[in-house]
């Protein structure tokens, strides 16, 4: 078991008799482990961190994901401590004792080890890209070089906070339509699968001639009862195959392309992706990074494969000396307003300010369109449920009247 502040290393080395030996040892860092082996008379061939196939720490790390809110709080508190004059190692030790996430606490322990070994904060955090994004890490690197680490920590926290708020707002707004769709399918399933069969037995016992609409619904109900399990299995298989295909490079690209072209929702996804790009470029430009390096980081940080390709094309054209706005104008993915504002920012030297304004404008439009979509979906789903129930009720009543007419 790994002790507090210690890392377990696995080594391959020559002993004093020139024999190859293997083993494990615990040390605070790789450098310390190497010194211990040298002191014991071993000549190190290979030394690496032991990653067991299964361990309690590994299981806890998977179950205890680091939430963005914890990262935001970490950045803000670290900035506050540094502004108060506390050194960075002491600040991290204090923050590590307050962290509730087991994963983040373990990562901060490794960061502290790296700092004591002589690494800068940005380098130590950069070893954990799944928690500390490369964009944020590079911003902190510039902050260290310029002596404004506290200010950059606050700006990075603001950046993550805005990203999370935008994503949470859109995701939260779409929850109602999803629940409404599930409820609609559930209501129709109960009516067709359980209610209609009861009436079917009654009609069969009376031997009445039923209207066409009633026969169609009863046939559908009978089919669901007989083959429902197979239909459900087919749906699961199709969903599984689609999921596997989407994980391939070509499938992911087509899926992301579809996400940008879907009616109504596609525009929201498009605006959200562009807003993320604008905000990322603004943060890095304000930090003082050159545009070529900024675009490399933005390409790595983009999630939509179509956007990644478009940004990569812009990056290639930038290396040819075409600037930023001119390559963007060649691709319809970048909206005219964004291209024009980038051009103004390049001419005035205020690219960070103009792109931040564009990001906020796109986020506002995305939120407005999302809310409009919700207001449209709510009555639509209600209407669909009402029509479905009305259709079933109509078929039942028409059958009743048909039976009553045949009995007279």
Beta strand 20-27 pairing with 7-14: antiparallel
* Residue 354 confidence (pLDDT): 93
Query: How far, in Å, CA of 130 to CA of 9, rounded?
Result: 22
> Is 13 inside a domain boundary?
yes
Specify whether the CB–CB gap between 391 and 216 falls below 8 A.
no
* 370: in domain: yes
Same-domain check for residues 307 and 365:
yes
CA distance 58 to 353: 42
pLDDT tens digits, 232-280: 899 899 989 998 998 888 888 999 999 898 887 888 889 989 998 999 9
Residues 6+ apart with CB under 8 A from 105: 96, 99
| 154 and 199 housed in the same domain | no
pLDDT for 3 equals: 44
Query: Which CA distances in Å does 194 have to 188, 190, 212, 293?
Result: 10, 5, 20, 62
Tokens encoding 92 = 């991290």
What pLDDT sits at residue 237? 93
Give φ, ψ of 372 to 5 degrees.
-65, -40
- How do residues 359-402 score in pLDDT, each as one tens digit? 989 988 888 888 887 777 778 877 877 887 787 777 777 777 77
State the pLDDT confidence band at 203, using cuts at 50, 70 and 90.
low
Give the chain's domain count: 3
pLDDT(4) > 50:
no
Structure confidence at residue 1 as a pLDDT band (50, 70, 90): very low
Shared domain for 29 and 80, answered yes or no, is no
pTM of the model: 0.68
How do residues 349-361 score in pLDDT, each as one tens digit? 889 899 999 998 9
The reply to whether 388 falls in a domain is yes
| pLDDT higher than 80, residue 125 | yes
3-state secondary structure of 7: strand
In the predicted model, is pLDDT for residue 344 greater than 90?
yes
Of 171, 150, 184, 165, give the one whose Cα is nearest residue 77.
Answer: 150
Name the domain boundary from 165, 192, 214: 165
Query: Partners of 7 in the beta sheet?
Result: 27
* 397 and 274 belong to one structural domain: yes
Q: Are residues 149 and 232 in the same domain?
A: no
What would the two tokens of residue 342 be? 């980038």
Residue 2 pLDDT grade (very low, low, confident, very high; cuts 50, 70, 90): very low
Q: Are residues 195 and 79 in the same domain?
A: no
Q: 136 and 206, same structural domain? A: no
Question: Where residue 372 sits, what CATH number does that domain have?
Answer: 1.20.81.30
Q: Which of 78, 187, 176 is closest to 136 using CA atoms?
A: 78
**Contact 377/184 with Cβ under 8 angstroms?**
no
Question: Which residue segment(s) compose the domain that 107 sits in?
Answer: 65-165
Residue 27 CA to residue 22 CA, distance in Å, equals 16
pLDDT digits (tens, 9 = 90+) for 301-331: 888 899 999 999 998 888 888 888 999 999 9
Residue 209: pLDDT over 60: yes
Q: How many CB atoms lie within 10 A of CB 22?
A: 10
Domain identity same for 150 and 268: no
Whether residue 2 lies inside any domain: the answer is: no
State the Cα–Cα distance between residues 4 and 12, nearest whole angstrom.
24
Q: Name the domain boundary from 113, 141, 165.
A: 165
Instruction: Record the tokens describing residue 404, joined without a space.
Output: 């009553």
- Of 111, 139, 165, which one is at a domain's C-terminal end? 165
pLDDT surpassing 60 at residue 57: no
Q: How many whole angstroms separate alpha carbon 24 and alpha carbon 27?
A: 10
Does the residue 1 lie in any domain? no
Flag whether pLDDT at 114 surpasses 50: yes
| Helix or strand holding residue 162 (H, E) | helix 149-173
Q: What is the pLDDT of residue 202?
A: 67
Which two three-digit tokens encode residue 352?
Answer: 């960070």
Do residues 240 and 356 share a domain?
A: yes
**Binning pLDDT at 50, 70 and 90, where does residue 66 land?**
confident
Average pLDDT estimate for 217-241: 82
**Do 91 and 240 sit in the same domain of this protein?**
no
């Amino acid at each position: 078991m790994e002790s507090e502040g210690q890392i377990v290393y696995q080594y391959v080395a020559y002993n004093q008799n020139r024999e190859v030996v293997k083993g494990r040892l615990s040390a605070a860092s790789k450098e310390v482990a190497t010194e211990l082996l040298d002191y014991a008379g071993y000549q190190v061939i290979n030394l690496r961190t032991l990653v067991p196939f299964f361990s309690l720490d590994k299981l806890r790390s998977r179950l205890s994901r680091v939430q963005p809110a914890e990262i935001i709080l970490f950045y803000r508190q670290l900035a506050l401590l540094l502004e108060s004059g506390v050194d960075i190692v002491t600040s991290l030790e204090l923050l590590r004792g307050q962290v509730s996430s087991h994963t983040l606490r373990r990562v901060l322990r490794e960061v502290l080890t790296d700092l004591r070994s002589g690494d800068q904060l940005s380098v130590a955090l950069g070893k954990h890209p799944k928690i500390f994004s490369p964009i944020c890490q590079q911003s902190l690197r510039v902050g260290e070089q310029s002596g404004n680490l506290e200010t950059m920590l606050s700006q990075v926290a603001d950046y993550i906070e805005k990203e999370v708020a935008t994503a949470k707002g859109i995701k939260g707004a779409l929850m109602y339509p999803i629940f409404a769709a599930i409820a609609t399918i559930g209501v129709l399933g109960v009516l067709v699968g359980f209610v209609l069969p009861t009436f079917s037995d009654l009609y069969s016992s009376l031997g009445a001639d039923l209207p066409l609409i009633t026969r169609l619904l009863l046939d559908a109900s009978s089919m669901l009862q007989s083959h429902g399990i197979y239909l459900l299995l087919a749906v699961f298989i199709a969903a599984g195959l689609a999921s596997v295909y989407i994980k391939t490079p070509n499938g992911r690209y087509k899926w992301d392309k579809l996400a940008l072209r879907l009616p109504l929702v596609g525009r929201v996804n498009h605006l959200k992706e562009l807003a993320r790009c604008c905000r990322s470029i603004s943060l890095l430009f304000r930090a003082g990074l050159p545009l070529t390096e900024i675009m490399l980081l933005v390409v790595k940080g983009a999630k939509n494969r179509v956007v990644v390709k478009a940004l990569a094309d812009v990056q290639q054209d930038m290396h040819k000396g075409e600037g930023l706005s001119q390559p963007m104008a060649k691709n319809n993915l970048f909206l005219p307003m964004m291209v024009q504002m980038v051009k103004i920012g390049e001419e005035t030297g205020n690219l960070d300010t103009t792109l931040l304004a564009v990001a906020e404008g796109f986020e506002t439009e995305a939120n407005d369109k999302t809310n409009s979509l919700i207001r449209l979906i709510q009555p639509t789903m209600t209407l669909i449920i009402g029509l479905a129930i009305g259709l079933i009720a109509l078929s039942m009543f028409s059958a009743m009247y048909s039976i009553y007419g045949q009995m007279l």
